[in-house]
Amino acid sequence: MGTRVYLARLAGLPVFDPNGDRVGRVRDAVVRLRTTNRPPQIVGLVAEMALRRRIFLPIGRVTSMDAEAVVLSTGTLNLRRFEKRPNELLVLEDLLDRRVTVVVAEHGEEREHAGAVVDIAMEENRRTEWVITRVAVREHTGRLTRRGHLYQAEYDQVRGLVGPTDTQGTSNLIALLDQMRPADMANALQDLPDARRNEVAAALDDRRLADVLEELPEHDQVEILVNLDRERAADVLERMDPDDAADLLAELPQSEQAVLLDLMEPEEAAPVRQLMNYRPGTAGSVMTSEPVILTPDATVAEALARIREPELSAVVAAQVFVARAPSATPTGKYLGMVHFQRLLREPPASMVGGLVDSDIDPLHTETGLLEITRRMATYDLVAMPVVDSTHRLLGAVTVDDVLDHSLPRDWRDRDAADEQGTA
């Protein structure tokens, strides 16, 4: 094990047992405060396992930590959910971005430099305790165009590291979280105190916040959204998939729904308004109104270019739907769909109108979730078209939306998942 370990660099690393089996990922490190002037002690790591459960790993059971992985000395773990004790702090959650003062000697005098914590190092002392020994601090310059000096300060040179929590920014925590997938980032946000979570969420850009909101439990979505100013909330809703935006708006009072819909761009608000008109639990209420739609004279090359667009999810990009013009929903007459595997096997100049699979009957807006699930399972589909009474394409129901609406409403909630896991 190395003599010095920077804790922010451990975030996200896989954790393995002695047999090489992966047990989870590092999400934070636990600091125990002391009543004396001795540096705080690192007592363990917080690891996230399957089903989003976070557990405590005592530092004494860690045999190695490097840039690739953390390895444990035992495969026997306490699976009880981690809960922070009153005399404990978490490095990433509580100390990263903390505004501190570094006291340094310059020209025979002590000078103070204000900055924000960007990382914390621990080292093992003669008592085999892991303690905080160094703090990396980025000096605050007050100028947007210039980054401040980075100080590697000894612990006793830093003032305010364990001060009040209202002296904490967000930039470095966001930099760490931004390396995660939206679902993992949403999971990490659930562990933050409410005020900290809202602050971090507000600091994300619109697209990233929209992606994360789609992965949060409904009560957290609502809390974050209502803490944004209304103009910003409308901008974020525009970046969400229309069906997810409709689900979120449905959790708000009708007066607030109307205000936010009016603030959205009309072309972005229109599909959301339409989705909110359908009865809950039907194809109309869960479909996306923005699948990949092509006219029959489009070529295979054009179809492949469309499904390569990076903003498309895997299930939306798995097939193209073919309909007469216009190609925006509601389209002209729906003709059928073409799976991407079929596109890969055909010459680029071939027209998709000659490749459509029209044997599977499309869904209607009032088709229930149970019937949708049965038909998707029967035909091994990840998406199905939804049409109106005149056979115009209105959208598509994807398997992820079916799962989302079939599971219990609180399935994304970490506390609920823990209760089910221990039942």
Tokens 């109106």 -> residue: 388
Fold of 1-179: SH3 type barrels. (2.30.30)
CA-nearest of 48, 108, 125 to 81 is 48
pLDDT digits 0-9 by tens, 197-211: 888 888 899 999 999
Give me the sign of the Cα torsion angle 374, 399, 213, 194. Answer: positive
> How confident is the model over 127-144, as a mean pLDDT?
83
The ranges of the chain annotated as CATH 1.25.60.10 are 201-277
Residues 308-324: pLDDT tens digits? 998 888 999 999 999 99
Q: Please give the single-letter amino acid code of residue 79.
A: L
Residue 267 in tokens: 């072309």
- Give the model confidence (pLDDT) of 237-253 as tens digits: 999 989 899 999 999 99
Query: Is a pLDDT exceeding 80 seen at residue 87?
Result: yes
Strand ranges, E, within 214-345: 293-294, 319-323, 334-339
Q: Where are the beta strands (DSSP E) in 243-343?
A: 293-294, 319-323, 334-339
Per the model's pLDDT, the better-predicted residue between 139 and 390 turns out to be: 390
What integer is the mean pLDDT of 338-366?
95
Three-state SS at 279? coil
Task: Choose the CATH number for 293-406 among 3.10.580.10, 3.40.640.10, 1.10.10.10, 3.10.20.600.
Answer: 3.10.580.10
Q: Cβ atoms within 10 A of the Cβ of 60, count? A: 12
For residue range 149-179, list pLDDT tens digits in order: 888 999 999 988 886 555 567 777 887 777 7
- Please tell me the predicted confidence (pLDDT) of residue 76: 86
Q: Which one-letter DSSP state was computed for residue 362?
A: P
Distance between first and last Cα of the chain:
38
Decide which of 226 and 192 is more confident.
226
Residues 6+ positions from 196 with CB-CB distance below 8 Å: 93, 165, 168
Task: Specify burial of residue 93 (Cβ count, 10 A radius: 0-12, 13-18, 19+).
Answer: buried
Which helix (H) or strand (E) segment holds residue 334: the answer is strand 334-339
How far, in Å, CA of 132 to CA of 33, rounded? 11
Mean pLDDT across the chain? 88
Task: Look at residues 222, 278, 312 and name the one whose alpha carbon lies nearest to residue 394.
Answer: 278
- Which residues are bridge partners to 353 per DSSP? none
Domain with CATH 2.30.30.240 in the chain: 1-179
**Domain 201-277 is in which class?**
mainly alpha
**CA angle at residue 164 from 163 to 168, to 5 degrees?**
95
CATH 3.10.580.10 domain extents, the chain: 293-406
Q: What is the mean pLDDT of residues 340-359?
A: 95
Is the pLDDT confidence value at 260 over 90?
yes
State the pLDDT at residue 1. 47
Q: How far is CA 200 from CA 177, 205, 235, 350, in A?
A: 10, 10, 17, 49
* Residue 276 and residue 284 in contact, taking contact as beta carbons nearer than 8 Å: no
